[in-house]
Amino acid sequence: MPSLSIKDKVVVKDYLRDSTIWDCITPRVGDIAIASCYKSGTTLTQQIINLLVHGHDDFDHLHDLSPWVEHKHDLLDEKIEQIEKLPDRRFFKTHLPFEALPYYPDWKYICLVRDGRDVAMSLFNHLHALTPEARLTSPIQLHNISSNFPEFWEEWLETGKPYWDWFEFIKIWWKVRHVPNVLLVHYRDMIDDKPTQIEKIADFLQINLDKPLKEIILHKSSLEYMKQNSQKFEHRDFEKHRFIYKGSNGRWQTLLSEQQSKYYEEILSQKLGSACALWIKNGGEYL
C-alpha cells in the first residue's frame, strides 16, 4: 500500500519519541492511528475503538493490543514483532504531530483535543502519580516538578515542559481537520455526550454500531468500569489507581487566577487563530 505524499514529513526525536519507528511497520488497509498531545482521553478512546473493532476487552493489558509506536524505550524488535502479530483492525497510540506520521489514504487518523487548562491539570496529577522508581529512571528530570499547580502551569504554558509544546501539536492537527481520513475529537464532547461521539467514531471508521454493541461500549468505557478494571489500563510506572483518575474537566477553575486564565485565552487565539481557539474552549462541531 503506497504512501500518499500530501505533506512534508518531519522526523521527531526526543527523550521519549522516535518517529522513525513508524517506518518499521508494514501498513495494512484499515489501520487506525489514535493521536493526542497527551492527557486528552487517549486511553478512553483506545478502549472505545477496541470495543468497536472486537466487541470485548478480553485482553490482559490495553498497551499490548494498542502500543505506543514511537516510544523509544521499548525493545524495538519485540515491539515490531508484537505489532506484526496483532489482528486486524490494528489501532495504534501516538503522541506525534500529523506531519511526523506516515500517511496512507486507507488508514484512519483520530486526533484527541482538550482545553489546555484541563490538559495541564491532568498532566500535573499524572506526573505526581508516578512511582518513586519511575521518577528516578525517567529520561527527563521529574524530581523538581512543582507541587503548586499555578507555578507548574506558568512553565507548561510557556514551554510545554516537561513534555512537548501543546500549541504546536494542536496547530498541525487543526490544519488537516478536513482531510477525509482525519477526525478531530474534543474531550469535552466525549465526556458530555459520549453516545454521540461513539456514533461519530463508528461512522468515521465505517463500523456498524447496533444498540447492543453501543450499550457494551458505554458500559465498558465508563470511568467506573475502567477504574474497577484498572489492571487492564494502568501503566506500571504509576501508583495504583492513579493512572485512571478523575476524567473530568474544569478542575483548574479554583486554582488559576482570572488573570492567568485570561492570558491563556489570549495566547490561544494568537497562536491558533480565533476559530481553533473557540473550538478548543467549547468543543462541538469544528469549522
Residue 29, classified by CB atoms within 10 Å of its CB into exposed (0-12), middle (13-18) or buried (19+), is exposed
Rg (the chain; Cα; Å)? 18
Q: What is the CATH number of the domain that holds 252?
A: 3.40.50.300
What pLDDT does residue 176 have?
Answer: 97
CA separation, residue 208 to residues 31, 32, 189 (Å):
17, 16, 21
What residue has cell string 519511575? Answer: 134
- CA dist 8 and 10 (Å) reads 6
In a domain, 11, yes or no: no
In a domain, 2, yes or no: no
| Phi (first) and psi of residue 208, to 5 degrees | -70, 125
In a domain, 5, yes or no: no
Residue 144, classified by CB atoms within 10 Å of its CB into exposed (0-12), middle (13-18) or buried (19+), is exposed
Query: Which domain covers residue 240, as residue numbers?
Result: 19-282
Which set of grid coordinates corresponds to residue 28?
495494512
In a domain, 9, yes or no: no
What pLDDT does residue 143 have?
Answer: 60
Number of domains in the chain: 1
Residuewise pLDDT in 10s, the chain (287 residues): 434 445 578 999 998 999 999 999 999 999 999 999 999 999 999 999 999 999 999 999 999 999 999 999 889 999 999 999 999 999 999 999 999 999 999 999 999 999 999 999 999 988 888 777 776 677 666 667 888 999 999 999 999 988 999 999 999 999 999 999 999 999 999 999 999 999 999 999 999 999 999 999 999 999 999 989 988 988 766 666 556 656 667 889 999 999 999 999 999 999 999 999 999 999 999 86
CA separation, residue 258 to residues 51, 118, 165, 196, 271 (Å):
41, 15, 23, 33, 20
In a domain, 220, yes or no: yes
In a domain, 203, yes or no: yes
In a domain, 146, yes or no: yes
Where is 194: in which H helix or E strand? helix 194-205
Which one, of 36, 56, 52, lies nearest residue 199 by Cα? 52
**Which residues are CB-neighbours of 85 under 8 A, at least 6 positions away?**
none
In a domain, 4, yes or no: no
Helix runs in the chain, H state only: 42-54, 62-65, 76-85, 116-128, 132-137, 149-159, 166-175, 187-192, 194-205, 211-220, 223-228, 258-272, 274-282
